[in-house]
Amino acid sequence: MARTRIIPVLLLNKGGLYKTIKFKNPAYIGDPINAVKIFNEKEADELILLDYTASVEKREPDFVKIREIAGEAFMPMAYGGGIRNYDTAKKVFDAGYEKVILNSILFEDLKLVDKIASVYGSQAVVGCIDFKKPLLSKNKAFAYSGTKSSGSSPVEWAKQLQQAGVGEIMVNSIELDGTWGGYAFDVIKEVSANVNVPLIACGGAGSLDDFQKAVDNGASAVAAGSMFVFQKKGMGVLINFPTGKVITK
């Protein structure tokens, strides 16, 4: 049986770490360097760093800060936020990251996937689908931190991302973000049934059972934020990782 990757997700903004609930009400949780050092000790499989305001604010990544963070990490790192062209992606790789996570820019330039993959390989490009259900509608993929709808369903957009050449797809529920209520298992199952690339589940994890259920529904890896930075729902900050726990597929 293959061991499933368990991936902490850290949200970066102006040099600090934050955690949101449903992509709103960001709460400061501390210094990213300290968090990475703890995840090193806990032997996290991988780590995702997202500058969640960069695309909305139309700015590039903070290369000085993300290089500093990557320099402390012993595990593979993926970065997303503010990547709008190949040159910016190259700077992210040069800063020490193994993967780039693309979201908003792909609604404007799907060809960027091939430009990056042709140099770094498709495994280095992750297409992220943030999704929610607008009033009187079905789930739609959203860009710019959940503020702009693509008009496409998660499955439709996942198929386009796969065709564009991404090596992985990350599905992230906006409505379940930070709620500890469990992943959107129905969406995970539907997307995984329609694409062949590995799928990362994100948004709403509250227990190890949620990890296993996501895998049972087709996820290849599981990602979480609140579970790894809070002691319990609604309580204080405590960076943690389920050491020794194995999720299999």
Q: What CATH number should be reported for the domain holding residue 87?
A: 3.20.20.70
The pair of structure tokens assigned to 5 is 């990757």
- Return the active site residues: 130
Sequence-separated (6 or more) residues with CB below 8 Å from residue 235: none
Neighbouring C-beta atoms of residue 19, cutoff 10 Å: 20
Number of domains the chain contains: 1
| Phi-psi map region of 133: left, alpha, beta (phi>0 left; psi -120 to 50 alpha) | beta
In a domain, 243, yes or no: no
Full-model pTM: 0.92
**Predicted local distance difference test score (pLDDT) of residue 2:** 66
**Predicted local distance difference test score (pLDDT) of residue 229:** 81
Contact 140, 151 (CB under 8 A): yes
In a domain, 240, yes or no: no
What parts of the chain have a pLDDT lower than 50? none
**Interval 16-47: pLDDT, tens:** 999 999 999 998 988 999 999 999 998 899 99
Domain carrying residue 111:
5-229
In a domain, 19, yes or no: yes
**Predicted local distance difference test score (pLDDT) of residue 173:** 97
In a domain, 84, yes or no: yes
In a domain, 236, yes or no: no
**Predicted local distance difference test score (pLDDT) of residue 244:** 53
Sequence-separated (6 or more) residues with CB below 8 Å from residue 138: 153
Spell out where the chain has E strands: 5-13, 16-21, 24-30, 47-51, 77-80, 99-102, 125-132, 140-143, 148-149, 168-173, 199-202, 221-224
In a domain, 241, yes or no: no
- What stretches of 73-207 show up as alpha helix (H) in DSSP? 86-94, 111-120, 154-164, 185-192
In a domain, 246, yes or no: no
Contact 22, 179 (CB under 8 A): yes
Q: Which among 138, 144, 173 has a CA at the least distance from the CA of 156? A: 138
Number of residues that make up the chain: 249
3-state secondary structure of 243: coil
| Angle between helix 111-120 and 154-164 (nearest 10) | 50
Q: Which among 148, 163, 194 has a CA at the least distance from the CA of 171? A: 194
Q: Which among 169, 229, 225 has a CA at the least distance from the CA of 194? A: 169
The one-letter amino acid at 87: D
